[in-house]
Structure 1
Amino acid sequence: MAGEDLAGAERGLLAASEADWALARMRAAVVRELAHLDAPGHEAVDRAALALDLSRRQTYSLLLRWRAGDGRVSDLLPRRSSGGRGKGRLPDDVEAVIKDVLRKRYLKRQRPSVASVHRSIVRACRVRGLSAPSRGAVERRIAVLDPRAAAGSRGGPDAARKVDSAGGSTTTPVEPLGQVQIDHTVIDVVLVDEQDRAPIGRPFLTVGIDVTTRAIVGMVVTLDPPSATSVGLCLAHIATDKQAWLETLGAQVSWPMAGKPAQLYVDNGAEFHSEALRRGCEEHGIALDYRPPGEPQYGGVVERLIGTLMSEVHELPGTTFSNPVDRGPYDSEATAALTLLELQRWLAFAVAAYHHQVHEGHGRPPLAVWEEKATAHPPTTVANPRSFLVDFLPVVRRRLNRTGLVIDHVHYFSDTLKPLIARRQQIGQVVVRRDPRDLSRVWVLDPQSNAYLSVGYRHLAHPAISLWEHRAAVASLREQGRGEVDEQALFASVEQMRHVSDTATKSTRRARRERQRRPVASTPSSGPIAVPPPPPDLRRDARAEEPAPAPFDDIEEW
């Protein structure tokens, strides 16, 4: 609903300066441990206060804020008056000295101690007539240095490689979701569209696996290439309870894996380096670590999973196999039969069967290992999937005007924006997140309340469109010689493109794929859909007590 305030969505995510955000992360590392205690006494609080360089009262205040805000990093951002907002606790001249000495003295192969570096900073400040910072202040600035860059500067490439390997540890985490590996692949099967059952090409899979239990903890299937949105969707699927989703699908299967990962381990694709993903992970206390470039073995767990899933996909009609040699004379497009929704159904069955199958690494089914580990270390689930997803959507920044804001020729407005519009001169640019699959609304971050506000089209008659359709319409108008693109012409172009693809006697594959990309409200199918069962070697182990997964009738694209 336009103007809707996302429940529990207090955010300092992108409104905070880098210095404030680094301070909040450092505080979270200490307060998180304190919050695990049922009734922390003065002794525990005093130790935390010493680490934070704060008083006991201030530390108790941070603990209350952490617990009241459901454990978000942004709840620990420094609160200052408007005159000091965004400034560090130390004068800029002192910060400059610290930064210079760290670069010249600390980040060297001689690996000087923190005490030695602190003495150098004190001497440099005295020479300049500045007040010297405490050792704790220097330690906090060292703590927020990039671990890989610092290890490389002080210990060389081998030291940096150790930091990179498996997130800095060669051992498997004990708790479930201690490390989740995520990766993408194009699925080896040609799909057909819902309308004509004609080929539209191959989809993409983003999947996450828990390293501890080898359980599949989340996935998303799209027609668009991997992006930051794909990662955000997969993370939301990982973190949230899947029971309601399975019931919506009508799937009589069990998928109990849910919770926020402690660490996300990914490759170096551009989608994993987005600002949205980085700040979203920091907000929710998820460590984001990358494989060393050119070292694919560090992502071997998820790579093997993808290989297993693709080998089973080769049993489906319309498969492309792994390469042309394996495919031989098989005509993938002529035999294609599954729609996007039907493929998602099949994958849901395959995941349920995989969880019942004995894994060679454990000698036990992933489901059994998960249940054992989750009982000992219960994961933290997310109650509001949409609010969680918003934290990982792509970011744009815009200035407000008297009628709302404009993003790529489209006007957005809501009554909830009026207080921000009144203060637009003081606010400057606002942070906006949007879902590329549906541009009919965006989420604007109120810098004062740190809450996301849902804001829809200013002209409510416009249809929901995807970013892909938007860009295609703009390109079409440019080709027609339109020097300037206005909102009315843009939506008219989208409607025209949709009309052409809907009424063509025989649509091209590209037109059919375009039609499937449109943002539409998912509705149950009118009747049962024939879906091929999981292949025999992916079905559940005969010793398992749960009934085998059964076909279901209704599905909704997640």
Structure 2
Amino acid sequence: MDARPGRIEAFGTVTMPDALWDRTKKISAVIAPMAAQTTVGRVAVDAAALSLGISRRQVYVLIKRHRDGTGLLTDLVPGRSSGGKGTARLSSEVEDLVREMVRKQFLTRQKRSLAAVYLDVVGACRLRQLPVPARNTVEQRIRALSPVEVGRRRGGPQAVRSLQSAGGDVPVIGRVLEQVQIDHTVVDVIVVDERERRPIGRPYLTAAINVFSRSLVGMVVTLEAPSAVSVGLCLVHAATDKRPGLESLGVDVQWPMSGKPRQLYLDNASEFTSEALRRGCEQHGIELAYRPPGRPHYGGIVERVIGTAMQQVHELPGTTFSNPAERGRYDSDRMAMLTLHELEKWLTLAVATYHGSIHSTLGQTPAGRWAEGVEKTGTPAVVSNARAFLVDFLPVMRRTLTRTGFVIDHVRYFSNSLKPWISRRSTLDPFLIRRDPRDISRIWVLEPEGHACIEVPYQTMANPAVSLWEHKRAVARLHERGVTQVDEAALFRMIEQMRQITDTASRTTKRMRRDAQRRALAPQPTTATRPPSTPNGALPTLMDALQEAVEAARLNPADARTLFNLATYKQDDAEQIHYAVSLFLELGIPLDFHHTTQTEAGLQDLD
């Protein structure tokens, strides 16, 4: 790991060609179990060599590389073939052609024979003037395919029933972290904001369950709707040592369940099928498996644990219960008193209690089951660099480098680290970029060589750190005002105005209190920022007057109209007047503006 700040080692997980990536995954599936053994017999080595189409010596080399490596999939990336005996000597063009012909001609319901498919391969190679592979080479490529996939493509789902678990039962899990199930739910309790302690709505829980021990290995509570980032944060919590987090919560409990899972078992929601999650899991040797459609019991373990937790949540003040009928006349908003931080602390204590309780299926506690598994297989390895681990799971985008850096969604990013590539940017492909939606003040840019990710901040350091949802809402507001060409300055002015509206309205509007709390919970930026200056120096005075108007509007709309007129008296700045009108409309306060000439421009602008 490079010690320089703002730099995270990368291994080409996104830039690697699919053919090479698939080949590496196949090698890892064969070599990793062998490398875990103390001694490896010749019979096993010969079988591995036959399966991978390589020599016995290369199998030993791969085993050594795996043992000496970091445990990542890219430790076993094949080098360039020397053309020696026993190695895969096809060029990438021929490999791609063979794979395409097998997919289009062999993996079909027509069930074409190997001989017919090979004749098609020969014809296609001659047409493109490529070397013709031997028939046994094509046969080896077909034999290397998954029997279940081949059977399903050529015979349909019923043809592979015998290859899957009988009776639709979930396969037995026999090791710690062999399979981890992840799912989301809305927590059945209203939380309050940190400042006013007024209700802001229900949060979301993302939980990771170790199937072997039925223990929770990861948990994240957020105000954000479930997304790929939620999954990444939950994986970070599962794979890292939990003691620092427990200390920051002020909780004195034991939570030893940590480590990278061997398999993630998920449903088919969009946040579980992203490119970032797939490549991130493959890079870290985590297999992705999805629940079969029509078989909900396959994911029942995580759902049962979450359901048990929600039953306990119903004992908390501010609970919404499971449905309106069960809630009855209970006023959840009025009774709410827990902040998000306090709810997370309570859930952590509940998890510790659950781990120490007898599980009806296991006949023992989840903590005891975990300890037994660790005693047999050893303590799982944990992730030491949580930030680098999370970056591997952030959403991916591609952008072209310009003289001034990168432009993403109307925002410019620049760092001196980009200067070596700006002069030769015309010869470079679009860069691979990752961005945390909770804080878009920085991005992570993969070097053209693919060795590391560089942290790149805003080009304008004065711009505040914002989340992607704030950014999108500001762009939408500008479009509503008729602004077709959004520039960065106008965008951040709008964000600042919206934040001031939120701060003013947080005493009356639950949605805006929630927005303010989401900003407060966003990760702190590492780049230096300073608050933007107030335009024309007039906004604080206007804000004070509008504060009084908002309070008066609750009692007497006529008083509110009078104070509004005073607040906007002799205001020549259309933006200031527009802001005042926007504030009242945002709060849903009906006012008769037709008596005031100063506000007519503001209303026309809104229309």
TM-score (norm 1): 0.84
Shift of 1:35: 2.3
Q: C-alpha distance in 2, partners of 1:2/1:331? A: 53
What is the aligned partner in structure 2 of residue 99 from structure 1?
Answer: 100
Equivalent positions of 1:290-369 (< 5 A) are: 290-369=290-369
Q: C-alpha distance in 2, partners of 1:519/1:416? A: 30
Shift of 1:217: 0.9
Q: 1:102 to 1:461 in 2, by over 3 A?
A: closer
Q: C-alpha distance in 1, partners of 2:368/2:349? A: 18
Q: C-alpha distance in 1, partners of 2:490/2:42? A: 66
Q: 1:275 to 1:197 in 2, by over 3 A?
A: same
What is the aligned partner in structure 1 of residue 385 from structure 2?
Answer: 384
Q: C-alpha distance in 1, partners of 2:141/2:175? A: 28
Q: 1:255 to 1:164 in 2, by over 3 A?
A: farther
Equivalent positions of 1:386-535 (< 5 A) are: 386-504=387-505, 506-518=507-519
CA contact (8 A) 2:292 2:298 kept: yes
The Cα offsets for residues 458-494 of structure 1, whole Å up to 9 and x where unpaired, read as 2222221111111111111112221111112212221
Shift of 1:453: 1.5
Shift of 1:189: 0.6
Q: C-alpha distance in 2, partners of 1:5/1:160? A: 49
What is the aligned partner in structure 1 of residue 591 from structure 2?
Answer: none
Equivalent positions of 1:151-162 (< 5 A) are: 151-158=151-158
Q: C-alpha distance in 1, partners of 2:143/2:468? A: 41
Shift of 1:261: 1.0
Of residues 176-185 and 124-133 in structure 1, the stretch that sits farther from structure 2 once superposed is 124-133
What is the aligned partner in structure 1 of residue 240 from structure 2?
Answer: 240
What is the aligned partner in structure 1 of residue 265 from structure 2?
Answer: 265
What is the aligned partner in structure 2 of residue 284 from structure 1?
Answer: 284
What is the aligned partner in structure 1 of residue 540 from structure 2?
Answer: none
Question: Which amino acid is the alignment partner of residue 426 of structure 2?
Answer: Q
Verify: 1:178 aligned to 2:172, yes or no. Answer: no
CA contact (8 A) 2:170 2:298 kept: no
Question: Which amino acid is the alignment partner of residue 15 of structure 2?
Answer: A
Q: 1:6 to 1:91 in 2, by over 3 A?
A: closer
In structure 1, list runs of 5 or more residues that go unmatched: 82-86, 524-558
The Cα offsets for residues 282-334 of structure 1, whole Å up to 9 and x where unpaired, read as 11111111112232111111111111000000000110100011001101111
Shift of 1:76: 3.0
Residue aligned with 2:435, SS: strand
Q: C-alpha distance in 2, partners of 1:404/1:3? A: 21
Of residues 380-389 and 98-107 in structure 1, the stretch that sits farther from structure 2 once superposed is 98-107
The Cα offsets for residues 416-447 of structure 1, whole Å up to 9 and x where unpaired, read as 22233344223211111111111111111113
Q: 1:141 to 1:444 in 2, by over 3 A?
A: farther
Question: Which amino acid is the alignment partner of residue 289 of structure 1?
Answer: A
Q: C-alpha distance in 2, partners of 1:73/1:305? A: 31
Q: C-alpha distance in 2, partners of 1:266/1:347? A: 22
Q: 1:271 to 1:505 in 2, by over 3 A?
A: closer
Q: 1:505 to 1:18 in 2, by over 3 A?
A: closer
Residue aligned with 1:170, SS: coil
Shift of 1:269: 0.6
Q: C-alpha distance in 2, partners of 1:343/1:502? A: 24
The Cα offsets for residues 25-50 of structure 1, whole Å up to 9 and x where unpaired, read as 11211231332244668776555444
Question: Which amino acid is the alignment partner of residue 30 of structure 2?
Answer: V
Q: C-alpha distance in 2, partners of 1:55/1:346? A: 57
What is the aligned partner in structure 2 of residue 556 from structure 1?
Answer: none
The Cα offsets for residues 124-176 of structure 1, whole Å up to 9 and x where unpaired, read as 4455655224646654466466x76544224422356777879x983321111
In structure 2, list runs of 5 or more residues that go unmatched: 82-87, 525-607
Question: Which amino acid is the alignment partner of residue 339 of structure 1?
Answer: T
What is the aligned partner in structure 2 of residue 542 from structure 1?
Answer: none
CA contact (8 A) 1:15 1:447 kept: no
Question: Which amino acid is the alignment partner of residue 481 of structure 1?
Answer: G
CA contact (8 A) 2:200 2:510 kept: yes
Residue aligned with 1:435, SS: coil
Residue aligned with 2:440, SS: strand
Q: 1:98 to 1:366 in 2, by over 3 A?
A: closer
Q: C-alpha distance in 2, partners of 1:356/1:218? A: 17
CA contact (8 A) 1:98 1:138 kept: no
Task: Provide the identity percentage.
Answer: 50
What is the aligned partner in structure 1 of residue 547 from structure 2?
Answer: none
Question: Which amino acid is the alignment partner of residue 170 of structure 1?
Answer: V
Of residues 372-381 and 261-270 in structure 1, the stretch that sits farther from structure 2 once superposed is 372-381
Paired residue total: 510
What is the aligned partner in structure 2 of residue 221 from structure 1?
Answer: 221
Q: C-alpha distance in 2, partners of 1:504/1:278? A: 41
Q: C-alpha distance in 2, partners of 1:46/1:266? A: 36
The structure with the largest helix share of the pair is 2
Of residues 95-104 and 38-47 in structure 1, the stretch that sits farther from structure 2 once superposed is 38-47
What is the aligned partner in structure 2 of residue 84 from structure 1?
Answer: none
CA contact (8 A) 1:109 1:156 kept: no
Q: C-alpha distance in 2, partners of 1:295/1:260? A: 26
CA contact (8 A) 2:405 2:412 kept: yes
Shift of 1:281: 1.2
Of residues 467-476 and 48-57 in structure 1, the stretch that sits farther from structure 2 once superposed is 48-57
Shift of 1:408: 0.9
Residue aligned with 2:194, SS: coil
Question: Which amino acid is the alignment partner of residue 174 of structure 1?
Answer: G
Q: 1:412 to 1:267 in 2, by over 3 A?
A: same
Residue aligned with 1:517, SS: helix
Q: 1:412 to 1:520 in 2, by over 3 A?
A: farther
Q: C-alpha distance in 2, partners of 1:247/1:262? A: 28
Verify: 1:70 aligned to 2:70, yes or no. Answer: yes
Shift of 1:106: 4.7
CA contact (8 A) 1:501 1:512 kept: yes
Q: C-alpha distance in 1, partners of 2:242/2:100? A: 46
Residue aligned with 1:428, SS: coil
Q: C-alpha distance in 1, partners of 2:389/2:399? A: 22
